[in-house]
Structure 1
Amino acid sequence: MNRTLKQILPTSRNLLNSRRVLVGSSAVRTAGRVNVARQQHRMFTQSVIRPISFKGMFGGKKSDTEDNKLVLEQDNLFHVLSKSPLPEMRDRAAIINKYGVCPVCDTHHGEHEHKKNPVYDCPDCGYPTHCSEEHYHQGKQAHQEICSILREINEDDHDLRSGRPMREFEFPTAQGFDEAVNMANWDSLFYTRTFPSMDSDRSMRHVSKLLTYPLTIASVLHQSSPHKYGEQVTSEGMRSIAALRTILYPHNQVSNDAQTQLRTDTINVYLVGARAEATLPSHIWLQLAYLFPATPFHIHFIGPDALSPNQEPHTKSVNERLSFTYDNAMYHDYHEKIEKFDPYTDIFFMFSPGIGHAEARESWKTSIEKTLETKCPIFITGYDEADMKNDIEAVEQDYQGEFDWVLKPSVNEFRSLKRDVNLMDLRQSIFANYGIWGIRGKRYEVVHDPENND
């Protein structure tokens, strides 16, 4: 495991012991001290448990800031959540008050002792962190490890709802065929794709939160990928990626003294266990299509959370180069709807699936077996090193000898730079798509043996 992983997320302790909702199968994963009542309120937890929907950020129902014309100035972004001028932030405090955990009670009380909820607001981060002022001072030293992180999240969330013009979300459109893009990291991408100037770390965090899903996919496919052969990419991985790039980068055709790009076959991207990525507006996914001007993309969002409860599976097109299919079936059922898979045009992604968790492991098996059968590359992300290690160990044990490594576990350059916090336990925070690794169903070589063959 890449040692630099530990340097990026030092505060992710014991996240695997928290409750997580399995999105690639029908099982619900629970662990630690979370009881049945808390399971019923999983929608209250941010993306450390289940990535939040992006629908409220673009269109749809008007927000409180739109209705009330409320504008928070940039020097007035910090507010104690329970006293915030934004109802949504006050609601967040109420959720913590009701379902959160006081870390001092949690540490010093026994399993069966009564533990109080956090109702005392930390004046420095604005979150309700402890059950009383006494416990706040008692646990203040330990709280200092996360206090600055929570304050950053507090100010970021108020900024998103401040009513100011979000210039950083004015993304570039199609690029010219002669424009070179550098995908070494977020900075290089923003500069070479002529994104609006990111004049603050906060703007970088906002944009990376939205773009981490399409850009993580693009970072694997693009010819200037940060994943290098001989370092992260294996020899088998290079074969898989090279096959896809023959479609993504067709030879130029010269006509009338001008270069015209050949149109290619469609690249199918299967997102198994889709959650937050299925709620992204289409113009966010267009950023993936823009990076490959000759190639149409068909994004398949598959899993129980790919659709709202009242929606039926459907397919829609944004334009001739980008289309979506949404289906809330389990992947192993959806798999049977596809006539055939082609390693030159098909690729799989699983964003933080948690396939190694004890309560989910068995229910993932059928779907993973089906993806391995395709012989197409499968890329998997995790929200921290422990999460990735847990999934990798499960795959190595359950599918030993059935897969080849495509991409060694490494930090994802296009991870979200914005932290998400677990409202039921503020000590837990993560970066979406923090790390990435990849495998492919093993291809067995045919050996010619004339003595034993007819």
Structure 2
Amino acid sequence: MSFFKCRVLNISRLNRLNKIFLNSSMIVRHNFLVRNNFNTRLNIRTYISLKSIFSRQNSTLKPISITKPILSQDNLFHSLSESPFEDLRHRYKQICVYGSCPVCLSQDNEVKNKPKYECPDCGYPTHCSLEHYLQDKEQHKNSGTCSMLRLANEDEHDLRSGRTMIEFDFPSSQPLDEQVNMLNWDLFFYTRGFPSMDNDRSVRHVSKLLTYPITIASILHEYGPYNIKNRLTDEGLKSLTALRTIIYPKIISHDIKTQKPTEIIRIFVLGARAESLLPLHIYSQLSYLFPFTYFHIYFIGPESIPGNNKKFPTHSNYTPQLSFTWTTSFYHDYHDSLTPFDPYTDVFFLFSPGISQTNTWHDTIIKLLQTKCAIFITGFDQEDLHSEVSAIEEKGEKGEYELDWLLRPEEKKNQPYLATACVHTILSQ
């Protein structure tokens, strides 16, 4: 029996429709499990008005209570210092302590004041005084900084507004006969079966959460955006082919329960910060995209959050297919405990590591190159990425590193995934 899809009636439209009736109506959510040829379960949700079913006045059924949001959608902008949420007011104080006024930085005097004046357009403390703000106002706006901070301000307040975040209703297992397109976020959301997102804010919320796991998936997936015609070098194709040999076993059973387990793919996230703080179920998207693969993700670095908190375990077998390990050690100190390495099962990711900003990465890179495994490096933006590339190439020219580039630098400014912006790979010879 072939499976089918059912359109989900928009809740807001249904609520408006129900208001036509004087007596209260109820909305009931029904879950149906439908099996397709591959025994894949498809969760189909329908929302039905029960006005026509329960018409008796003495019915004991009561309308579903809807909690009123703290902030309405037309009241999301607030200066951080006057935010109704304590953690955002605390963020204002943190910026005032650790930030710097851009005008003061551009001057030769030794006094570098902290930003305490909040831009009235973005709500963030950007300058030390009104005078310096007016002096730098055009640059602040024309550079796009103000507009980006304005979006960030409204997004942060929206996340705390108390509204129902339907965009966070993530899909689970992917039907085996439906292929995922990972060319960009829109195609990924559509082919993956995410709830319809009608505005850019919802897309930003979801992509912010999924940036790290989907960046990893977009590189490992056989239908990812990177191929020999798009930045991937011959050496890069060899490296990804080796990994995909294990990720995609030759013999695949249509019944997941009878499929023999593959070797464990070890993913090492070095210099982990926000990556280690994500809820573990976010990384379950990897298991849904690779249903026959077992992953063990290592978060390594002094800022690996759960490792710094005694309340969090240092290891978790989250699901049979997905396990995690946290450590606050530097990688070059932790390296020997992870041997031996195999290019077919091991891969490294360095998300915006700041190699060009500090010398602390040198010993780590030396150890990484000894593994003969693929290493993926990202940057915050085009400029940051090129500085990382230049720092590595400079030491390569001096003979300190022996490596091959597996993924050519990206020339376009618009990237399909936030953390995939200009991913580069280095492989020891």
TM-score (norm 1): 0.72
Q: Does 1:217 align with 2:216?
A: yes
Question: Aligned partners of 2:116 and 2:348: how far apart in 1?
Answer: 44
Larger mean Cα displacement after TM superposition, 117-126 or 401-410: 117-126
Q: Give the corresponding residue for 1:138.
A: 135
How many residue pairs are counted as aligned between the two chains? 354
TM-score (norm 2): 0.76
Q: Give the corresponding residue for 2:56.
A: none
Q: Give the corresponding residue for 1:394.
A: 391
Q: Please say if residues 103 and 130 of structure 1, whose CA atoms lie closer than 8 Å, have aligned partners that are also in contact.
A: yes
The letter of the residue matching 1:415 is Y
The letter of the residue matching 1:140 is K
Larger mean Cα displacement after TM superposition, 365-374 or 393-402: 393-402
Q: How has the CA–CA distance of structure 1 residues 269 and 253 changed in structure 2, closer, same or farther, with 3 Å as cutoff?
A: closer
Q: How has the CA–CA distance of structure 1 residues 105 and 238 changed in structure 2, closer, same or farther, with 3 Å as cutoff?
A: closer
Q: Please say if residues 307 and 313 of structure 2, whose CA atoms lie closer than 8 Å, have aligned partners that are also in contact.
A: no
Alignment of 1:331-410 (within 5 A): 331-357=331-357, 360-361=358-359, 363-399=360-396, 400=399, 402-410=402-410
The letter of the residue matching 1:154 is N
Q: Give the corresponding residue for 1:415.
A: 417
The partner residue of 1:436 within 416, 423, 427 is 423
Q: Give the corresponding residue for 2:70.
A: 71
Question: Aligned partners of 1:266 and 1:188: how far apart in 2?
Answer: 29
Q: Please say if residues 185 and 417 of structure 2, whose CA atoms lie closer than 8 Å, have aligned partners that are also in contact.
A: no
Q: Please say if residues 270 and 300 of structure 1, whose CA atoms lie closer than 8 Å, have aligned partners that are also in contact.
A: yes
Larger mean Cα displacement after TM superposition, 213-222 or 327-336: 327-336
CA displacement at 1:86 relative to structure 2: 1.7
The letter of the residue matching 1:250 is P
Specify which structure has the bigger relative contact order, considering alpha-carbon pairs within 8 angstroms and separated by 6 or more residues: 1
Unaligned runs of 5+ in 2: 1-66
Q: Spell out, residue by residue over 1:402-447, the C-alpha distance to the aligned partner (whole angstroms, 9 max, x if none).
A: 111111122684533xxxxxxxxxxxxxxx55331111111xxxxx
Question: Aligned partners of 2:313 and 2:168: how far apart in 1?
Answer: 29
CA displacement at 1:233 relative to structure 2: 0.7
Question: Aligned partners of 2:185 and 2:100: how far apart in 1?
Answer: 35
Q: How has the CA–CA distance of structure 1 residues 377 and 80 changed in structure 2, closer, same or farther, with 3 Å as cutoff?
A: same
CA displacement at 1:82 relative to structure 2: 1.9
Q: How has the CA–CA distance of structure 1 residues 254 and 175 changed in structure 2, closer, same or farther, with 3 Å as cutoff?
A: closer
Alignment of 1:54-453 (within 5 A): 71-107=70-106, 109-112=107-110, 114-145=111-142, 146-253=145-252, 261-306=259-304, 307-311=306-310, 314-357=314-357, 360-361=358-359, 363-399=360-396, 400=399, 402-410=402-410, 413-416=415-418, 432=419, 434-442=421-429
CA displacement at 1:185 relative to structure 2: 1.0
Q: Please say if residues 177 and 293 of structure 1, whose CA atoms lie closer than 8 Å, have aligned partners that are also in contact.
A: no
Q: Percent identity?
A: 52
Question: Aligned partners of 2:386 and 2:282: how far apart in 1?
Answer: 30
Q: Spell out, residue by residue over 1:177-232, the C-alpha distance to the aligned partner (whole angstroms, 9 max, x if none).
A: 22211111111111111011121111111111111111111111101110121431
Q: Please say if residues 104 and 130 of structure 1, whose CA atoms lie closer than 8 Å, have aligned partners that are also in contact.
A: yes
Question: Aligned partners of 1:262 and 1:177: how far apart in 2?
Answer: 17
Q: Please say if residues 212 and 414 of structure 1, whose CA atoms lie closer than 8 Å, have aligned partners that are also in contact.
A: no
Q: Please say if residues 406 and 437 of structure 1, whose CA atoms lie closer than 8 Å, have aligned partners that are also in contact.
A: yes
Q: How has the CA–CA distance of structure 1 residues 329 and 240 changed in structure 2, closer, same or farther, with 3 Å as cutoff?
A: same
Question: Aligned partners of 1:339 and 1:84: how far apart in 2?
Answer: 49
Question: Aligned partners of 2:347 and 2:244: how far apart in 1?
Answer: 12
Question: Aligned partners of 1:253 and 1:225: how far apart in 2?
Answer: 20
Query: What secondary structure is seen at the aligned counterpart in 1 of 2:266?
Result: strand
The letter of the residue matching 1:210 is L
Query: What secondary structure is seen at the aligned counterpart in 1 of 2:407?
Result: strand
CA displacement at 1:69 relative to structure 2: 8.0
Question: Aligned partners of 2:162 and 2:226: how far apart in 1?
Answer: 38
Question: Aligned partners of 2:317 and 2:345: how far apart in 1?
Answer: 18
CA displacement at 1:262 relative to structure 2: 4.5
| Structure number with larger C-alpha Rg | 2
Q: How has the CA–CA distance of structure 1 residues 340 and 70 changed in structure 2, closer, same or farther, with 3 Å as cutoff?
A: same
Aligned alpha-carbon RMSD (Å): 2.6
Question: Aligned partners of 1:106 and 1:353: how far apart in 2?
Answer: 24
Question: Aligned partners of 2:317 and 2:92: how far apart in 1?
Answer: 40
